Structure 1
Amino acid sequence: MRLADAVRIYLATITVPNTRATYAAALDRLVADFGADTNVALLDREPDRVAGWFTFVWGGKAPKTFNIRLTALAAACGYWREQEWLAGDPLVRLRARPAPPDTSKALSRDRVTEILGSDTLLRERVLWHMLYESSARAEEVLMLDVPELDTANRCAVVTRKGGAREVIAWQTGTARLLPRMLVGRKSGPLFLTDRRARPSVAKNDVDPVTGRARLSYRRAAELFEIHTSQYDGGPYTLHQLRHSRLTHAAEDGASTPVLMKLSGHTSVRSLAKYARVSDDALRRYQADSDPAARRRSGR
C-alpha cells in the first residue's frame, strides 16, 4: 500500500473536521518527507529513521505539540495494522513527553460556550456538556452505565473519590443531547468507543447490544485536547471543564455547601483553588456594587 494512499484512507475515517485537520498536519508531513510512493510496510524496517525524522521535525516544539503529532501517527499506525498493511510499530523508539496540564486555570464563559457549541461528534458533545454542567470528574462520568441515569430528573449516582456514592445533576444542554446519543439504548456503559470491543475487555465494560466497549479516560482526554488545540492557550484538559463550572458557580454567588455538593469535596479547603474569582468577574462585581453607579441609575 502506497503511503499517500494509506494516509488518505485513514484520514477519511475521521469524521470530526478539527481532528482530521490536526492529524493531517502530521501525516501529510510524513508523506512529504518519506515519499508518496513509499510502501507503508517499509516503515516497520526503519524505526530509527522514523524516530530521527520525527524528532528533527517536532523535537523543538512544545511537549503538547510533540505529543499531539505523536498521537496522530500512532493512531494511523494502529489503523494500518488493523488493515494488515503494517506489521509492527515504526514509532517504537518514540515516547510521549511529560507535559503537566495547567489545570489551575478556569476557562472563560465565552470559551466554554464556544467549545460546547462546536461541531463535533455527538458523543463528545454529550460528555463535555455533562462534565461542565455537573462539575463531576471525568473518571466518575465515564464509569456511568445507562441504567444509572435518571433522565426525568436530570441526575445520576456516581462513585466519588474514596468510594462514596453521590448524586450529580446536569442541565438543559445535556438533557437535550442525551436522548439523541442513547437512541433508546437501555443497557451497557453510557459512553462507548467507536469500534467493537476486543475479547479481553471485561463484560461490564461492553454494551451487549452493539458490542462496543466503554470509552476510556485516556481516549476521552486525548480527543478533547485535540479538539481544543486550535484555541489560544489550548489544548485544554477535561479537568478544566469541571474547574470552570465550579469557578463560574462561585462567581454567581453559590454558597459553600452548594459548591461542596457540586464538587464532591468533603473539605472546604479543597474548594479554595476553584473559588478564585476571575478578573472579569471582579470588574463586574465592582461595577454592579458601585454606590455611585446605583445613584446614577436611580436605584
Structure 2
Amino acid sequence: MGRVHVLPAAARGVRLADAVRIYLGTITVANTRATYAAALDRLVADFGADTDVAQLDREPDRVSGWFTFVWGAKSAKTFNIRLTALGSACGYWREQGWLTGDPLVRLRARPAPPDTSRALRRDRVAEILGSDAPLRERVLWHMLYESSARAEEVLMLDVPDLDTTNRCAVVTRKGGAREVIAWQTGTARLLPRMLTGRKSGPLFLTDRKARPSVATNDIDPASGRARLSYRRAAELFETHTAGYADGPYTLHQLRHSRLTHAAEEGASTPVLMKLSGHTSVRSLAKYARVSDDGLRRYQADSDPAARRQSSFAIYITSHVGDA
C-alpha cells in the first residue's frame, strides 16, 4: 500500500467549518443569520468540519442527495429557505475563490402553494420597518409600504423626481401613465439620511460601481454606482424576512399589506384606487380584502356584549367615585 501524502493546510484550501463561520459573519441581521445557520451547521455536521470546502465542487451528486435526504420531506417553504441559505453561502465562497462551480447544480426550488392571505399583520410590518437593516433597504421598504406603489415603479425613480417638501414623487405606472405617489413620516425621516445631499442619479443605488455595459441613465454620475435592480432588492428583502415562521416575504406583500390596512381603516374606493394605481375596481378587489387580523379586530370592536360590558364598567366606576 502506497504512502498517503497529506497536503499542507494552505494547499488543501479552507475548512468547511471556517468557511461557514466566515460567511455567517457577513450577515448583519440576527434573524437571517440564525435561519441560514440552521442549514449550514447541518452541512458541517454531516460533511465534517475539516472537509475542504472545494470538495463540494467535486461531489454535486452527494450534495444534492444529502440535501434531499435531510429536507426533501419538508414543506416547499422550508425546502426553499434551506436551499437559499446554501446557495447564498456558495455564491460568497465562489467570490472568495474557495469554490469554482456550483455544488447545488442538481437542485431546484420547489413551487410553493399559493398564499391566499398575502397581507402582513400591522405589527409584523412595524417590526420589519423598524429593524436594524441597512438604511437603503429601510428607506425602500418604508416607501413601498407607505405609498403602496409597485416595487418596479419606486426603483425607477431618480432623485430629481422627488418632491421631499410635499412627500411625493411622480412614477410611471404599469401601462405608462404618470401618476403621483405619496409617503408618510417614516420615509420622510429616513430619506435625507440616504440621499446625503445627492441631487441627481437613480434614487436607490447598488453597493458597487456599475459595469461598463450599464446604461448611462442608470448610473449615479457622482459615485459611479448603478441603479438597484428589482431582483437584488427582492433578494435582500426575502433574505431579511426568511427567519419569520411564515417567511420569507416578498416586496409585493408590502404593497398588498398597505392596501389591506387602508381598506380596514375605512379608505374609500377612490382613495384605494389612487393609492394602488388601479383603473379597475375589479383589479383592486383582491388587494382590499380585509385580513384575518382585521376581521377579528372588527368583531371585537363591534361586539354588542363587549360594548354593554364596557358601558357597565364606566357606570360602576363613576358611581364608586361619587361615593
Q: Which amino acid aligns with 1:138?
A: A
Instruction: Return 5+ residue gaps in structure 1 as ranges.
Output: none
Q: How far apart, CA to CA, are the structure 1 residues paired with 2:265 and 2:136?
A: 29
Structure 2 spans left out of the alignment, 5+ residues: 1-13, 316-323
Out of 194, 207, 215, the residue aligned to residue 181 of structure 1 is 194
Contact 2:148–2:258 at 8 Å: present in 1 too? yes
- What residue is the counterpart of 2:19 in the other structure? 6
Q: Is contact 1:105-1:240 (8 Å) kept?
A: yes
1:139 corresponds in structure 2 to: 152
Please point out which of 136, 147, 165 is paired with 1:152.
165
Count of paired positions: 297
Provide, for residues 195-239 of structure 1, a one-character-per-residue CA deviation record: whole Å limited to 9, x for no partner.
Answer: 333444333333333333332223322332333333343332222
- Kept after mapping to 2: 8 A contact 1:103/1:243: no
Query: CA–CA distance in 1 between the matches of 2:28 and 2:124?
Result: 23
Q: Secondary structure at the match of 2:302?
A: helix
Helix, strand or coil for the counterpart of 1:36? coil
Tell me which residue corresponds to 1:161: 174
In the alignment, structure 1 residue 247 sits paired with structure 2 residue 255:
no
8 Å CA contact 2:146–2:182 kept in 1: the answer is yes
**Aligned equivalent of 1:64:** 77
CA distance in 1, matches of 2:38, 2:310: 54
Contact 2:32 2:241 in 1 (8 A): no
- Whichever residue aligns with residue 30 of structure 2, its letter is P
Distance 2:104 2:310 in 1: 64
Deviation of 1:96 (Å):
1.4
2:19 and 2:307 map into 1 onto residues whose CA distance is 67
Residue deviations 1:70-92 (CA, integer Å, cap 9, x gap): 22222222222222221111111
**Are the aligned partners of 1:126 and 1:177 in contact in 2 as well (CA < 8 Å)?**
yes
Q: Trace 1:91-130 onto structure 2 (pairs within 5 A).
A: 91-100=104-113, 102=115, 104-130=117-143
For residue 81 of structure 1, what is the aligned residue in structure 2? 94
Contact 2:34/2:243, CA 8 A, preserved across alignment: no
Paired residue secondary structure (1:162): coil
CA distance in 2, matches of 1:195, 1:60: 39
Q: CA shift at 1:118, angstroms?
A: 2.1
**Residue of 12, 17, 21 corresponding to 2:34:** 21
Residue in 1 that maps onto 2:295: 279
The aligned residue for residue 203 of structure 2 is 190
Q: Work out whether residues 103 and 237 of structure 1, in 8 Å CA contact, stay in contact via their aligned partners in 2.
A: no
Is the deviation greater in 246-255 or in 256-265? 246-255
2:247 to 234, 240, 248: 234
Q: Taking structure 1 as reference, are residues 15 and 229 closer, same or farther at Cα in structure 2, changes over 3 Å only?
A: closer
Partners of 2:35 and 2:311 in 1: CA distance: 53
Contact 1:104 1:273 in 2 (8 A): no
TM-score with structure 2 setting the length: 0.83
Which stretch has the larger CA shift, 260-269 or 35-44?
35-44
- Is the aligned partner of 1:45 residue 2:58? yes
Equivalent-residue separation in structure 1 for 2:66 and 2:219 (angstroms): 39
How many angstroms does 1:294 deviate by?
10
Task: Give, as a single letter, the amino acid of the residue that structure 2 aligns with 1:251.
Answer: E
Between the aligned partners of 2:132 and 2:59, the Cα distance in structure 1 is 38
Q: Give the superposition deviation at 1:60.
A: 1.6
Calculate percent identity across the aligned residue pairs.
82
What amino acid is the match of 2:299? R
Amino acid at match of 2:209: R
In the TM superposition, what is the alpha-carbon distance from 1:291 to its structure 2 partner?
9.1
Deviation at 1:104, TM superposition (A): 4.1
RMSD of aligned alpha carbons = 2.5
C-alpha distance in structure 1 between counterparts of 2:246 and 2:107, whole Å: 26
**Closer, same or farther in 2 for the Cα pair 1:157/1:269, shift >3 Å?**
same
Runs of 4+ in 1 over 6 A off after TM superposition: 290-298
Q: Which amino acid in structure 2 is aligned with residue 54 of structure 1? A: F
TM-score between the two structures when normalised by the length of structure 1: 0.89
Checking the alignment, whether the CA contact within 8 Å between 2:239 and 2:248 is kept in structure 1 is yes
Corresponding residue SS for 1:163: coil
